[in-house]
Amino acid sequence: MAPPRSSIPNPARTLLGLLAVMVALTGVMFLQGRSTPKLGLDLAGGTTVTLTAKTEAGKNPPASQMDQAVKIITQRVNGLGVSDAEVNKQGSNNIVVSVPGEGQQQVVDTIGKTAKLQFRQVYVVGAGTPQPTQPLPTGSPSASPTGKASGSPSPKATGSTSPKPGAKPSSSATPRGRALSEALSAPTPTPSGTGKASPSATPSGTPSPNPSEVPSLPPDLGGQEDFSGIDDKAVIDQYKKLVCSPNGTTAPGSNDPNKKWVAACDQDGNGKYILGPVRVQGTQVSDANAMPPDPQQGQSSWTVAIKFKSQGSREFAAVTSDAFKAPQGTPQRQVAIVLDGQVVSAPSIDNGAITGGTASIFGPPDSFTQTYADDLANVLKYGALPLEFTQSSIDEVSSTLGSDQLRGGLIAGAIGLALVVLYCMIYYQGLGLVAVSSLVVAAAITYVSVVILGEGMGFRLSLPHIIGLIVSIGITADSFIVYFERLRDELRAGRTLRPSIESAWKRARRTILVADAVTFLAAVVLYFLAVGGVRGFAFAMGLTTLIDVVVVFFFTKPLVALLSRTRFFGKGHRLSGLSPGRLRRGGTTAPLPKSQEA
């Protein structure tokens, strides 16, 4: 008895739905601007960087620290979206990082950063480079005395305060980063009663500076630094001799968390600082994420939102509280964010202690780009390296050997596919066309998926992936064979074709799902437990297993149901694969019912 017509899915509608999905995926592929897969290190070449740990002469770094560095660098590379990168320890003090593809300078620059983050209170601030002598504008008592340093730019949260009295405009660029938190967002009234001229008293024809870009002067507002309270004469001498470079200067000892006083430059070389003890270390950062500009909050650049652990939250609240208690207009009001010995930003704490356990780092849009924010968030998220490294060598990797292996792999895949097609056509005849068509659809979906994954998540096709795709040909063919044999069993039992399609599918789909589930679970376990090429093989096998389920459910079965309505298959043509002569029962030819049509 045939099942009710309403319970049988419409095969044409199912096939059209799959076609629509394939067209949509193809559209996404072309919208991404790429129609070919990205290739891995073994197929396309790439860059190999050797990082050497800095140690005292004749000493090797501890093995535990080298293992931890390998783990952190691997996390950083994966966080940048680079697939199939290789990170290996070589010898006792070297780490070799191989990154596939061209144009990977961003990755090379990021992976070796020590990324030691520190929060220190500022005590002295000045210009990073010697300032030229400027004539005093008439009626401007706040101008710096001739020959004195004019002070370094000090970033402030947008809208946090009006310019300090006596601040003067500067044509120099603002520092790369600024810090912001909710506690800094509310405006505070302009301090009064100082007796100094306001920033509007600028020379004729000079535009008034943006309040958030006005540089801070040293405490006496006259350009002279105040070293009182600093008990380290060596640091004071180092600060006075320190000349910062626009390309970034790391002052000796500025990255040492054990030093009570350090002299440091900002990242752009515009300012230099004397900083107090470390109040919060980067190990207290629990998370960091790059955030896009938010014009509603007055942010025109990308930001890096950081979240502290419970201890770090208390420490950050303490240092911002101490800074807020300092006299307004003094450097002690600023908290410096120091990354690898350079000051990223030094915001002024003008609205009270920050107790929320979160903060953000942002800067000018021309320098604080999405790439910079992503890189900074990536290195902060996975922590600082336990050792400092130098790039001892950077080499380009050739893809010649990989090209030969790729050619051999493609030839092997073509031979395997040809044998599968030949077997299906000989054994199943006309029904074999369904299997071949299903393989073509599966290949098309796999290709588009690989291209989309390459552009979307950095997936790169390597030799292990190709091996996994070749092996999947047999896995996909198994699903077709299971269904076809169930269908032929139904016909051998004397049932007509169209009802047999549905009853055979109910029996076959359970077997197909169980088999694919076992394969997929094996791929998942292999992916998480293995490394390198084996992991790539597991990923490809898992991907094609999922595609196999989609193709069998939404293409193979509906296509067989649709073809059953034709005379060629419906009447059991001798070349259809369903002819009476090819269906046997008990070792003899069993005639089919007179009509196989529902």
CATH number at residue 541: 1.20.1640.10
What range defines the domain where residue 441 resides?
12-40+399-589
Q: 159: how many CB neighbours lie within 10 A of its CB? A: 17
Q: Return the higher-pLDDT residue of 75 and 452.
A: 452
CATH code at position 216: 3.30.1360.200
| pLDDT at residue 24, as a whole number | 94
Mean pLDDT of the chain: 75
Q: For residue 554, give the DSSP letter.
A: I
Q: Is residue 357 included in any domain, yes or no?
A: yes
Q: Reply yes or no on whether the pLDDT at 589 is more than 50.
A: no
* pLDDT tens-digit map of 340-370: 888 888 888 888 888 888 877 776 677 778 8
User: Cα separation of 47 and 267, whole Å?
Assistant: 27
Q: Reply yes or no on whether the pLDDT at 277 is more than 90.
A: yes
| pLDDT at residue 58, as a whole number | 63
How many domains does one find in the chain? 3
| In a shared domain, residues 246 and 103 | no
| In a shared domain, residues 59 and 158 | no
User: What token pair was written down for 569?
Assistant: 């298959």
Q: Is residue 202 included in any domain, yes or no?
A: no
| In a shared domain, residues 403 and 296 | no
pTM above 0.85, yes or no: no
Strands of 46-53's sheet, edge to edge?
Answer: 86-90, 94-100, 46-53, 389-397
Residue 323: pLDDT band (50, 70, 90) is: very high
User: Cα separation of 85 and 79, whole Å?
Assistant: 11
Q: Is residue 1 included in any domain, yes or no?
A: no
DSSP string, 62-96: PHHHHHHHHHHHHHHHHHTT--S-EEEEETTTEEE
| In a shared domain, residues 345 and 469 | no
| In a shared domain, residues 31 and 164 | no
| pLDDT at residue 487, as a whole number | 87
Q: How far out from the chain centre does Cα 148 lie?
A: 46
Cβ-in-10-Å burial (0-12, 13-18, 19+) of 464 comes to buried
Q: Is residue 4 included in any domain, yes or no?
A: no
Q: Return the higher-pLDDT residue of 578 and 282.
A: 282
Rounded to an integer, the average pLDDT of 454-478 is 81
Amino acid at 402: G
| In a shared domain, residues 436 and 541 | yes
Residue 36: pLDDT band (50, 70, 90) is: confident
* pLDDT tens-digit map of 472-516: 877 888 888 899 888 888 887 777 888 888 888 998 999 999 999
| pLDDT at residue 317, as a whole number | 92
| In a shared domain, residues 467 and 560 | yes
| In a shared domain, residues 341 and 440 | no
| In a shared domain, residues 443 and 512 | yes
